[in-house]
Amino acid sequence: MNQILENEPTLLATPTKNTLPLRLADFSTLAEALDYAAQGETGANFYSGKGELTEVVPYRLLRVQAISLGKRLLSLSLKRGARIAIVAETNAYFLRFFFACQYAGMIPVALPAVINIGGHQAYVEKLRGLLKGCDASVAIASNQFYSFLTEAAEGLGLAFVGTPDAFDALPEQNSELQPSAPNETAYLQFTSGSTGFPRGVVITEQTVMANLAATVAHGISMNENDRCVSWLPFYHDMGLVGCMLALIASQRSIDYLDTREFAMRPRRWLEILTKTKASIAFCPPFGYDLCRRRIRPDDVANYDLSAWRIAGVGAEPIRYEVLDEFAKLLAPAGFDSKAFVPCYGMAETSLALSFSPLGHGVVVDWIDTDALSGELLAKPVEAYQGNSFVRCGTILPEHEVKITDDDDNELAERHIGQIKVRGPSVMSGYFRLTEQTQQVLSADGWLDTGDLGYLVDGNIVVTGRCKDMLIINGRNIWPQDIEHIVERQPELKALGASAFSVTDADNREIAIVVVQCNLSDSEERSLLEQRLHREIFEALGITCVIEFVPRQTIPRTSSGKLSRSATREGYLRRRDNENRIDTAQTSVDGNVTLMSSIN
C-alpha cells in the first residue's frame, strides 16, 4: 500500500488577495463585519513554535462555527449581555468564542493565559479576581489551563465552566440568534488595573467600529495587498483590536504566533513575515528590542522583509535607539526604517488614538533638558543634545486631544501637561466601577489618559505618566501590587513599602521597591529578600530591585500616605551618592542594589 496517499493533505494558509471588494470597517457591528469577511477567501492562520502552520480558519468557516457555538451558548439560558470569560491562548478557539458571543448577544472577556514559573497560586488568584471583576457567567479554558480555571472559579457560582470540547457537546438551541446591537457592549477589556482591583473597560459595538474604521482607513490605509503577522496576546488591546478585529473588519488574512514562542524564539516572527510576505506587524518597542538582541547577524540573509510596509510601535515609551538598531540589523533583509509607525492609544479608547504619518519612519523631537524639568516646556534643541521623544502623529479624525495643567486649563503647543482625549472611540466606562470611571471620564466626554505630554504641529508626544503605573518589558505593573506582596510578609507587617520605576544606564525602565524593615540579622534579611524576589516574580513576572531602609524613612504625603514620588527622589539621590562612591558596584545589567543603607 502506498503510504504517501494516506498522509493528510498539507495545510495551506489563507491567501493575501481576497475575492471580495475591500471594505474599510464600515460596519455597524463586529458580527456584520464577520458576515461580510465570510464571503471571501481570507482568514486566520496559526503557527507552532517550530514555525509550522498548525491550524487554518478561513473567516467563512469561523462564521459557521461561531454561529453554531452561539446557539450552544443559548442552551445555557444566560441573560443577554452575560459575560463569557475566555482564557485567551493564541489559538482558533478564542476567535470562535469571541464571535459566538457577538452572534448570541453575550459579552466576551479575554483572560490572560500566562503563568510565571512557580506562579500557580498567584495565577489562580489573578483569574479569580478577573472572574469576579466581570461577574462572569461562563468560563472557558483549554485542557492546558482548565485545572487553574476550575480552581479560580470555585464557589463563584458560574453557570458553566468547561473546555472548548465541553461547549461543543452542548445542544444547539433552536431559536434565532440576535447579534449584539450597535449600542450594546461588544467586549470587556481588562486593562492596566492592579491585580487587587481589576478594571474592565466597557467598549460598545459602535465604539469599537468607530475606532476600527478610523484605524484602517486613516491610520494605516489598509489595502488589498495587506496581510498581518502577530504574536501579541488576545488579552491585550493591541492583540485583540489591532491584530485581530482590524484585520477581520477589513477582510485581511492574519498569521499568528504564540506570545511565549516569540519571547523564546523571536526569529520565528521574522521567518513568518518572510514566508507570507506580510505587510503589517505591530508590537511594543520591547519586541523590536528582543529581536535586536537575539537575532544572529548570520541569520539576516534568510529573511526577506521587503514587503513590510507598516512596522507599528506602541504600548510603551518608545526609545528611538532601539528601533534604529533593529532597522540597521535588518536592512540587508530589505527592512526599511521608514516602515516604522509610532502610535499612541490605550484600551480605554478601544485602541489607537494616533498614528504617525505612513512612510516617514520615526520622527524624534530633541528637547532641552532643563526647560523640560524646570518650566515643563518642550524647547527644541539640536539633535542629540537633550532628551529625545518620539512623535506619535496627529489624532484620528473626529477625535480631539488637549493638554491641560492640573486645574484643567488648556495649554499651548510645546507645553507639557496631562493628555486628554475625546471622541467616538472612548469607552463607556469601567465595568460597574462608577467612582473610578468618574475619576478619568468627565461629564462632557473627556478622558484623562493618565499620560503626560505635549503637542507639536498637532503631533502627540508622550513624555511620561502621571499615573503610578510601571511598564517593564511591555508588562503594565501597578506599584500597589508590588507593595501588597511586600506588606503581607509577616516580618514587615504595617511597616510600609513604596514601589516605582527608574531608568537604568541603558535607559530601560526597571522596578524598585523601597522596603521599611526592622530586621538587623543579615541572614533573616537575605531570606526575606529571597522570598520577596520569588513572590514578586510569581505574581507579576518581573524582577525588582529591593532596597531595605530603616522604618520611617519613606516620606509621607500631606494626607499621611506613603509618597511614591518622594521615595523615588530619595532613592535616586542615594543611588547617585553610591555611584559617586563606587561606580564599580554597578552590575553588568545596570541594576544597582543599595543594601548598605540600612546599616
Partner 1 sequence: MTDYQQIIPVLYTELAAITKATVAIDENTELTGDLKLDSLQMMELLLIIEDHFDISVPVNVLSDVKTIKDFALQIENLIRCE
Contact positions vs partner 1 (CB under 8 A): 49, 113-120, 123, 144-145, 147-148, 260, 263-265, 290, 473, 530-531, 533-534, 537-538, 541-543, 588
Question: Nearer Cβ to partner 1, position 160 or 537?
Answer: 537
The single residue listed with the C-alpha cell 489595502 is: 223
Q: Would you say 53 and 47 are in contact if contact means Cβ atoms under 8 Å apart?
A: yes
Minimum separation from the CB atom of position 209 to partner 1 (A): 34
Question: Nearer Cβ to partner 1, position 77 or 147?
Answer: 147
The CB density around residue 295, as the number of other CB atoms within 10 Å, is 19
Minimum separation from the CB atom of position 590 to partner 1 (A): 13
Minimum separation from the CB atom of position 54 to partner 1 (A): 12
The alpha carbon of 407 is separated from its chain's Cα centroid by a whole number of angstroms, namely: 30
Using only C-alpha atoms, the chain has a radius of gyration, in whole angstroms, of: 25
For 311, 361, 403, 550, the CA distances from 308, given in Å and listed in that order, are 7, 13, 34, 54
Would you give the DSSP letter of residue 240?
I
Minimum separation from the CB atom of position 578 to partner 1 (A): 19
Minimum separation from the CB atom of position 97 to partner 1 (A): 19
Regarding beta strands 429-430 and 387-395, do their DSSP bridges make them parallel or antiparallel, or are they unpaired? unpaired
What are 476's strand-pairing partners? 471
Give the ranges where 196-306 is alpha helix by DSSP (H).
Answer: 205-213, 237, 246-248, 259-264, 267-276, 285-294
- DSSP result, 436-503: HHHHHB-TTS-EEEEEEEEEETTEEEEEEESS--EEETTEEE-HHHHHHHHHTSGGGTTT-EEEEEEE
CA proximity to 430, closest of 255, 200, 260, 228: 200
User: How would you label 351-366 residue by residue, b for 16+ Cβ within 10 Å and e otherwise?
Assistant: bbbbbbeeeebbbbbb
Minimum separation from the CB atom of position 50 to partner 1 (A): 9
Minimum separation from the CB atom of position 415 to partner 1 (A): 37
Minimum separation from the CB atom of position 494 to partner 1 (A): 24
Q: Would you say 494 and 488 are in contact if contact means Cβ atoms under 8 Å apart?
A: no
Minimum separation from the CB atom of position 53 to partner 1 (A): 17
Q: Would you say 483 and 497 are in contact if contact means Cβ atoms under 8 Å apart?
A: yes
Question: Nearer Cβ to partner 1, position 488 or 531?
Answer: 531
Question: Nearer Cβ to partner 1, position 111 or 403?
Answer: 111
Residue 340, phi then psi, degrees to nearest 5? -65, 130
CA proximity to 300, closest of 276, 273, 322: 273
Question: Nearer Cβ to partner 1, position 204 or 473?
Answer: 473
Question: Nearer Cβ to partner 1, position 231 or 454?
Answer: 231
Minimum separation from the CB atom of position 540 to partner 1 (A): 9
What grid cell was written down for 6? 494516506
Cα 174 from Cα 167, distance rounded (Å): 16
Question: Nearer Cβ to partner 1, position 120 or 484?
Answer: 120
Minimum separation from the CB atom of position 291 to partner 1 (A): 13
Question: Nearer Cβ to partner 1, position 115 or 378?
Answer: 115
Question: Nearer Cβ to partner 1, position 183 or 530?
Answer: 530
The single residue listed with the C-alpha cell 440568534 is: 177
Cα 497 from Cα 516, distance rounded (Å): 6
Question: Nearer Cβ to partner 1, position 38 or 528?
Answer: 528
Question: Nearer Cβ to partner 1, position 293 or 551?
Answer: 293
Minimum separation from the CB atom of position 48 to partner 1 (A): 9
Q: Would you say 58 and 224 are in contact if contact means Cβ atoms under 8 Å apart?
A: no
For 297, 304, 316, the CA distances from 291, given in Å and listed in that order, are 11, 15, 17
Question: Nearer Cβ to partner 1, position 380 or 541?
Answer: 541
Residue 66, phi then psi, degrees to nearest 5? -70, -40
